[in-house]
Structure 1
């Protein structure tokens, strides 16, 4: 009892002697900096055009044979036009059975797949219907005139955290990444703007709020942003997406020849010639009309025919590299290829044809 009285008395004395706590004075912040106001306006203007995409996959129970729909993944996308087309990455919807799109205003739609281009990691979905009102769209910019060091902004849904803005710079241009679905993905924009899983498919914007790329990948051993992100340039998007909308697929331009990188590496090692060895010439193609000759098997091994060493004066040494360079052109355009055969070099001009 005495202990309790002593403790109470001590607490009373402490409270009586302690100074009264006064609130801190709030310092007025003043006006935001011009760069801050510009960034805020950029986000406000672009946010409504960015969507959140969640996908599901149907799986069957082996024992009951019941079919279930289970979550598969998520990503970001961009409203492309007033018709409700959504541009995203191919890897965001790859393997999915269904996709749900949520707009910034909370509206949700079941999406239908319009077309994909795995070699560009691009896909187009469609939402809406009668009476659908599309949100505002971001203006389209260009990527051919980008410069290392200029500011860029990424908007997306990293780790499912909706509508997140990150800022960085263009770290490098014309990067290439290997692609399991075909030729290398070329001309990528490298940026240090934080891009994480879930950002894929979202827009990369310049300081004027214009679309300059679609965020596609990161380089990171841990799977989280390490300051090295990549975006498909808008010039590529502008070439591919209209075809996906109108035809459901991208028709790549072709020379009418075929090659194989594994065989190509062995032939380069054996011959010491850097280039793409023609293994087949398509019948009736412009390559056949120009007199290109494919490699032939002989008793002693393989007898090289024509070897493509350059396209429009730029050296090529791999099949994937050649296909990626051709992707800068359209079907019907003409290109000049440099050929080597029997130690002699020549150039021919071929009209690009629809590839498979």
Structure 2
């Protein structure tokens, strides 16, 4: 069997970046030779086995049960190779990766285990979740779909995980760690956010983007998206992926709920300025004209100073949504992302002029990125 130690074709030499995303390509350097022992170990990884037990699985078991479904992704533009990442087979055989891995691609190549290359077409992409779905031509039978974790409840902090992908072009690489944080809110285009993101201390480097982060029963808990520094990486959660990915596979797009507001998490100074008993909630800084929340929610219209800090005043503070409390921005963002769709009418509990009240309005659809 051909060794999986070889670089993805034309992958560039490593360059440290904050995002575990596209690796710029163009280098002709080859990967360093491995020992006969490591070559033999890679050759025995084989295709997918049945998911192994979370309680009894060794790290080798986890790797061998999943690596056959993990692919390298090469992005070709008009002038040739322009980036690479990772992906994995899911659903009915489509390939999941990050939107930023295939952004601007004229052609996409996939590298399956055993150095089997396939052409792929982009079925759908979504910049707001940084997810994309591809279809491989003549996908190898050994590359069977991985399953998502059960998200009710979601795996807790401390759950052992493994990230598999092609960091710096080294295909079939694995790193281990734990789920080190949940409910993270990451940046997305147009000042929006990616809700419900998973944090891990498993190493995520350039080229890992789009690959699976799996629990020790071989199920995908997140799609690797970016690295933030030593022992700090993030992925798109299974909960959000299970909403977005099927829509991309069937329709080529996904519609996100939209309030039409700009907001700020309540801090101690904001709580003092608004006379709030608790430091919790989200302040509406601005309500977009003609947006879904216009005429229902109020943005700020003044400012005051608290302990030398300028605080915007006059806006509504959202402290609940859909009957659930809102303590931090993630509470609001996660509910919108995981529980609602455009066109839904949602109730909000707000504090306005010192009094708590309930209002409701119909959610819209996020505008196209870049517009």
Q: What's the counterpart of residue 90 of structure 2?
A: 80
For the residue of structure 1 that corresponds to 2:128, the secondary structure is helix
- Name 2:144's counterpart in structure 1: 136
The TM-score with structure 2 as length reference comes to: 0.67
1:60-139 residue pairs with structure 2 within 5 A? 69-82=79-92, 84-128=93-137, 133=141, 135-139=143-147
Q: 1:348 aligns with which of 326, 350, 359?
A: 359
Cα RMSD, aligned residues only = 3.5
Residue 49 (1) aligns with residue 69 (2): yes
* Counterpart secondary structure, 2:58: helix
Match of 1:251 among 255, 266, 275: 255
| CA spacing shift, 1:181–1:41, aligned 2, 3 Å | farther
Cα deviation for residue 176 of structure 1 reads 2.3
1:172 equivalent to 2:181? Answer yes
State the partner residue of 1:65: none
Paired with 2:299 and 2:197, the residues of 1 have a C-alpha distance of 33
- How many residue pairs match? The answer is 292
Q: Displacement of 1:336 after TM fit?
A: 2.2
SS at match of 1:116: strand
1:218-252, CA deviations, whole angstroms, 9 ceiling, x for partnerless residues?
112xxxxx211111111111011011112211101
| Displacement after TM superposition at 1:105 (Å) | 3.6
Residues 196-275 of structure 1: pairs in structure 2 closer than 5 A? 196-220=205-229, 226-255=230-259, 258-260=260-262, 272-273=273-274, 275=283
In structure 2, do the counterparts of structure 1 residues 149 and 261 end up closer, same or farther at CA, with 3 Å as the change threshold?
Answer: closer
The C-alpha deviation readout for 1:310-349, integer Å capped at 9, x for no partner, is: 424433787x985554112232555320234455431034
**Which has the bigger relative contact order, CA under 8 A and spacing at least 6?**
2
Name the SS of the counterpart of 1:55 in structure 2: strand
Distance 1:181 1:71, change over 3 A: farther
CA–CA separation in structure 1 for the residues paired with 2:315 and 2:217 = 51
1:87 CA displacement: 0.6
* Cα pair 2:99 2:130 within 8 Å, conserved: yes
Q: Per-residue deviation at 1:279?
A: 2.6
Looking at structure 1, the residues matched to 112 and 198 of structure 2 have their Cα atoms a distance apart, in angstroms, of 26
The whole-number CA distance in structure 1 between the counterparts of 2:333 and 2:201 is 28
Check the 8 A contact 1:168/1:193 in 2, yes or no: yes
SS of residue in 2 equivalent to 1:245: helix
Is the CA contact 1:278–1:308 (under 8 Å) kept in the aligned structure 2?
no
- State the distance in 2 between where 1:89 and 1:101 align: 14
Q: Which has the higher helix share?
A: 1
CA–CA distance in structure 2, aligned partners of residues 85 and 161 of structure 1:
23
Instruction: Please tell me whether residue 327 in structure 1 is matched to residue 337 in structure 2.
Output: yes
C-alpha spacing 1:167/1:295, structure 2 compared with 1 (3 Å): closer
Q: CA deviation at 1:106?
A: 3.0
What SS is found at the alignment partner of 1:201? coil
- Tell me, yes or no, if structure 1 residue 314 matches structure 2 residue 325: yes
1:48 match: secondary structure:
helix
Q: How many angstroms does 1:52 deviate by?
A: 0.5
Counterparts of 1:241 and 1:51, CA distance in 2: 17
Structure 2 distance, partners of 1:200, 1:243, is 21
Judged with a 3 Å threshold, the aligned counterparts in structure 2 of structure 1 residues 304 and 96 are, in CA distance, closer, same or farther, namely same
Larger Rg: 1
Any unmatched runs of 5+ in structure 2? 1-52, 275-281, 303-311
Displacement of 1:40 after TM fit?
A: 2.0
